[in-house]
Structure 1
Amino acid sequence: MAPNILFIMYDQLRFDYLSCAGHPTLETPSFDRVAARGVRFDRAYCQSPVCGASRMSTYTGRYVSSHGAAHNNFPLKVGEMTMGDHLRKAGMECWLIGKTHMKADAEGMARLGLSPDSVIGARVEECGFDVWIRDDGLWAEGPDGFYDRKRSPYNEYLKAKGYPSENPWHDNANAGITGAGDIASGFLMMHADKPANIREEDSETPWLTSRTIDFIEAQKGKGPWCAHVSFIKPHWPYIVPAPYHDMYGVDDIVPVVRSDAERRDPHPVYGAYMEGGVGTAFSRDEVRRTVIPAYMGLIKQCDDQLGRLLDYLDDTGQADDTVIVLTSDHGDYLGDHWMGEKDMFHDPSARVPLIISDPRPSADSRRGTVCDKLVEQIDLAATFVEMAGGEVPRHILEGRSLVPLLEGKDTAWRNFAISEYDFSTSGAASRLGLAPKDCRLFMVVTDRWKMTHAEGGFRPMLFDLQNDPDELVDLGASGDHAEVISALYDKLFHWARRQSHRTTISDAQIEARRKGGSARVGILLGLFGDEDIPPDYLTAYSGKATSVDQT
């Protein structure tokens, strides 16, 4: 029988902010506990360094340029199969608990007459998942209204708990209190050192952990199931309740990774991002000193709640039947490379944590190991289909199953990984005066090199990861590296020629049509009549003719 799959995604969690990944001051024993039971993939990359596009790639198992939902609030077009579709076909239910950042293709659904109230319509609108509870965790409000206009079950939970605000997501879970008794919004990073104005057990991460336990309890005697548990934290607003708000201080912050040389004649797109509001803010040491301890506190709370989940699985005897997957949709610069948030392809942004613990005996030989192969996050969909006992549809899913790597099997693997970014809606695009079609970036990374190609006539960026692992020296304009750049462009061109749009018929179906082809259904072409023709090809066309009066 297939195992259950607990697929946990954290939002904006850096790959190197875990103690098992080498962080010197942030202890994450629960993440480490999963790593000790399984495999930590040290070189995993998301398919786009922004929430929506990254998640749509993970859920569809396809590259951004294949599914087209290239940024936040870009709809995932009707007809794209997702993880839930593939798993249900293999006999495994697939549920959502938390965030997707998926924007439904409402126009496409209306064109096809798909009602959101129907089972099929609801799945299309919810990225292929059956929804246990969905909350994208961004109940922000501005002059034009709310960012998330649909619903916030977390807000309703807080109101039921007695929090008096109309928007306790902001006023309590993501804000503190000033000395004068006013709301200290977490959107203003000066308040990151304050405790959030909420009881810790009511904050977002414990709330979603409790909903996850509720779900697993309800599945007893059922299954197998895949549960996508999608936490909003440690994503901004950078504010966390006591006691996590002051667990870490300035002395716990690792030194910033940046160089003055990066600001001298930078790549134009990179320069435009450094000049933006987020990059400018995180270039200030004061911002880093205030924000990073809160970010670390949010991760520590995530780790503690993960421990709660692991203990629950152990105590109820379900750990032996449950694969655990820990990852993130992208990272967070936190001031490295004069940047904040994400958007470019330096490792703090595009490289993600990925830990998989498979309890089955076939994975025993690799427990507690680290894999340094180039992994893409689209590999997860194919991995889950194989774990569910299904056949991976290679003509649809563009990733590769990680099961052979989890089991220590000798298998040929990719020698480069790809990530993409559409920045057409950004301030950087406006500053550069680019048309939307020119606002695209492509990353090619190998064991040694990382190159970024930018549309719009710009030169590439290039980093030698062997001699410059911190990615501080851009060699994209170096004539001495012309051959390296040419070789990386060959890899990008090879990837761009992939067969990505023939999703309705597989290679096996095509090959089956070669065996007799159309002749087996009576289409006889190129025959004179005296060839050695299989008799059954002519059965329907043989026999005595009945003459017809043609006068």
Structure 2
Amino acid sequence: MTQKKNVLFIMFDQLRFDYLSCQGHPHLKTPHMDSLAEKGVRFTRAYVQSPICGSSRMSYYTGRYVHSHGAQRNNFPLKVGEFTLGDHLRNGDIDCYLIGKTHMQADEAGLKRLGIMPDSVIGARQSECGFDAYIRDDGLWAEGIGGLYDSKRSPYNEYLKDKGYEAHNPWHENANAALNDEGDIASGWLMQNADQPANIKEEDSETPWLTSQAIQFMEERRDADKPWLCHLSYIKPHWPYIVPAPYHDMYGPEQILPVQRSSQEKAYPHPVYGAYMENLVAQSFSKDEVREKVIPAYMGLIKQCDDQMGRLFAYLEETGQMDNTMIVITSDHGDYLGDHWLGEKDLFHECSVKVPLIIYDPSADADATRGTVCDELVEAIDLAPTFLDWFGQDIPNHIVEGRSLMPFLQGEKPEDWREFVISEYDYSTTLAAEKLGLEPEDCRLFMVADKDWKLVHAEGDMRPMLFDLNDDPNEFYDLGDSASHFPVREQMYKRLGAWARRMSQRTAISDARIRKMRGKALDKGIFLGLFDGTEVPEEKVEPIKGKGKKAN
């Protein structure tokens, strides 16, 4: 490849790993994402660092565990000074742009403390998780009796109003609601309306709008010499679960996957799991009528996403940019959809914490792996070093905690690849925390999993959860207090302990600099421990010898 390299980093929000046809879904056909898998590598064991939007994304964007970057929950700020993908790429004179969602909460107190103006270049990048925002839209323009969920400017609402949608909040009244026969709003927040068509032209809905933004961006950059990474971050198939025609009725209840849940899970649940089974969204998704309304709409949203991938890939092919652009497709977490008696995400069953990951490397070095599948344990934090590696930059391993996936893309496997993955979850602001009567510091869960076992540690003096991924792939039987499985739990706790003791906060100085500092004290005039100077080479002590002048 002689032309410049680019990266198109595509993320869907709340897309389950098993809702693509290349992942085995029998009814939902996703030919365009499948075609990318046929050109690249599909990873079957990719795990996020937290099963919630904000924390997961901060790990993608920093290449660091939640334990390290500290943005442990949605609306917890990413502290000023945390290194991001944009910081690393700009060191190599590579632009780093955002189109869509980050769920980033800016550290306003930190910016003020350091005297950084939010509207300065540095301030804007700190507020946008290191990206230069081509257009940012987190897609949560809800409004309740307490006001707006997101008080920032809504570029999508501005777009819709320019297109002639006259509602006060067209994001809600058009893109995420239907109109019933009486002319009343049938809100997507009410899941009984999920099978209705959203009151919007399909081409004006959120997913096509973001695709158009991406094509416009790439068209503007076609003749530029400077390489770029563009993070195209879609809002869907995240709730509200409602989609415009013709996608609203493409699928029916007979095409949804069988629910994965067991009465055994309710017999003696872990306290945190039990609390989550009692929340409102779990209670709703435990009803078959809710699943039969929502899941076909969820599938329609994914089908629309895949069709937009077809549009995007066609543009790249037509303009020749498919030949020099690495393309990644992934998600920030999954969706329970009633599995395990739960809705939403939050906990660590596979449908929540495991995500799709497809990587297409256009270089000839990756020809041998096209259309292959990798079942090694991969983490979200691995994408940041992969991008740096792709651009030929050094990976600052004292900052970035993930590992490059380039060897897997080019037919190699590192001998010392990881044996386990980690994910974390902070539920300190939830009703579950209130129900359990826990202090914020005790509202933390840690998952450590390998290919055979998954252990979830809970702070607050609670027992762990343990699942046998071979004999119980559906994760129905919690072995967290099984006496016969004590050795397994002990081994998993050793791994969790080793991970917790890793070097993670020394980000201001690299190992290489530390090595260069060794043994230099004598050269700088520090002679601690010498008796007469013969213990070291003579030239080392010459600066402290010689004739002196007697003090008056």
TM-score (norm 1): 0.98
Q: Cα deviation per residue 1:113-137 (whole Å; 9 max; x = unaligned)?
A: 0001111111111100011000100
User: Of 75, 78, 82, which residue of structure 1 is paired with 2:77?
Assistant: 75
CA distance in 1, matches of 2:192, 2:266: 26
User: Of 451, 457, 464, which residue of structure 2 is paired with 1:460?
Assistant: 464
CA distance in 1, matches of 2:116, 2:343: 40
After superposition, residues 408-487 of structure 1 pair within 5 angstroms as 408-411=411-414, 412-487=416-491
- 2:512 alignment partner in structure 1: 508
CA distance in 1, matches of 2:267, 2:58: 36
1:87 aligns with 2:82: no
1:115 aligns with 2:117: yes
- 2:397 alignment partner in structure 1: 394
User: Of 102, 123, 126, which residue of structure 2 is paired with 1:124?
Assistant: 126
- Asked whether the 8 Å contact 1:438–1:455 carries over to 2, the reply is yes
CA distance in 1, matches of 2:132, 2:537: 51
Aligned-pair identity (%) = 64
CA distance in 2, matches of 1:530, 1:175: 84
Where structure 1 has 5 or more consecutive residues not aligned to the other structure, the ranges are none
After superposition, residues 24-39 of structure 1 pair within 5 angstroms as 24-39=26-41
CA distance in 1, matches of 2:521, 2:69: 32
Where structure 2 has 5 or more consecutive residues not aligned to the other structure, the ranges are none
CA distance in 1, matches of 2:451, 2:532: 59
CA distance in 2, matches of 1:356, 1:413: 18
Q: Cα deviation per residue 1:272-328 (whole Å; 9 max; x = unaligned)?
A: 000100110000000000000000000000000011010000010110000000000
User: Of 356, 362, 365, which residue of structure 2 is paired with 1:353?
Assistant: 356
Larger deviation: 518-527 or 70-79?
Answer: 518-527
Aligned residues: 548
- 1:8 alignment partner in structure 2: 10
User: Of 255, 261, 269, which residue of structure 1 is paired with 2:258?
Assistant: 255
- Asked whether the 8 Å contact 1:5–1:322 carries over to 2, the reply is yes
- Asked whether the 8 Å contact 2:259–2:339 carries over to 1, the reply is yes
- Asked whether the 8 Å contact 1:91–1:388 carries over to 2, the reply is no
TM-score (norm 2): 0.98
- 1:165 alignment partner in structure 2: 167
CA distance in 1, matches of 2:281, 2:267: 19
CA distance in 1, matches of 2:388, 2:522: 36
Give, as a single letter, the amino acid of the residue that structure 2 aligns with 1:505: I
CA distance in 2, matches of 1:365, 1:462: 38
Aligned to 1:69, the other structure's residue is in SS state coil
Aligned to 2:521, the other structure's residue is in SS state helix
User: Of 221, 224, 230, which residue of structure 2 is paired with 1:227?
Assistant: 230
- 2:183 alignment partner in structure 1: 181
Give, as a single letter, the amino acid of the residue that structure 2 aligns with 1:470: N
After superposition, residues 270-309 of structure 1 pair within 5 angstroms as 270-309=273-312
- Asked whether the 8 Å contact 2:85–2:384 carries over to 1, the reply is yes
1:245 aligns with 2:248: yes
User: Of 192, 200, 207, which residue of structure 2 is paired with 1:205?
Assistant: 207
CA distance in 2, matches of 1:48, 1:415: 18
- Asked whether the 8 Å contact 1:13–1:332 carries over to 2, the reply is yes
Give, as a single letter, the amino acid of the residue that structure 2 aligns with 1:61: G
Q: CA deviation at 1:507?
A: 0.8
- Asked whether the 8 Å contact 1:27–1:300 carries over to 2, the reply is yes
Q: CA deviation at 1:100?
A: 0.3
CA distance in 2, matches of 1:418, 1:532: 49
- 1:537 alignment partner in structure 2: 540
Q: CA deviation at 1:16?
A: 0.3
- Asked whether the 8 Å contact 1:37–1:357 carries over to 2, the reply is yes
- Runs of 4 or more, structure 1, over 4 Å off, are none
- 1:57 alignment partner in structure 2: 59
Q: CA deviation at 1:50?
A: 0.3
CA distance in 2, matches of 1:300, 1:110: 44
Q: Cα deviation per residue 1:207-264 (whole Å; 9 max; x = unaligned)?
A: 0000000100111122210000000000000000000000000111010000011111
Aligned to 2:413, the other structure's residue is in SS state coil
CA distance in 2, matches of 1:461, 1:449: 11
CA distance in 2, matches of 1:536, 1:175: 81
Q: CA deviation at 1:524?
A: 1.2
CA distance in 1, matches of 2:144, 2:539: 73
Give, as a single letter, the amino acid of the residue that structure 2 aligns with 1:91: D
Q: CA deviation at 1:345?
A: 0.2
Aligned to 1:42, the other structure's residue is in SS state strand
Give, as a single letter, the amino acid of the residue that structure 1 aligns with 2:25: H
Q: CA deviation at 1:7?
A: 0.0
- 2:382 alignment partner in structure 1: 379
- 1:492 alignment partner in structure 2: 496
Q: CA deviation at 1:377?
A: 0.2
User: Of 149, 152, 159, which residue of structure 1 is paired with 2:151?
Assistant: 149
- Asked whether the 8 Å contact 1:278–1:341 carries over to 2, the reply is yes
CA distance in 2, matches of 1:192, 1:66: 39
CA distance in 2, matches of 1:446, 1:530: 55
1:369 aligns with 2:372: yes
Give, as a single letter, the amino acid of the residue that structure 2 aligns with 1:323: M
- Asked whether the 8 Å contact 2:533–2:541 carries over to 1, the reply is no
Q: CA deviation at 1:145?
A: 0.8
Aligned to 1:78, the other structure's residue is in SS state coil
Q: Cα deviation per residue 1:32-72 (whole Å; 9 max; x = unaligned)?
A: 01100000000000000000000011101111111110000
Give, as a single letter, the amino acid of the residue that structure 1 aligns with 2:277: M
- Asked whether the 8 Å contact 1:97–1:133 carries over to 2, the reply is yes
Q: CA deviation at 1:92?
A: 1.3
Aligned to 1:122, the other structure's residue is in SS state helix
Aligned to 1:353, the other structure's residue is in SS state strand
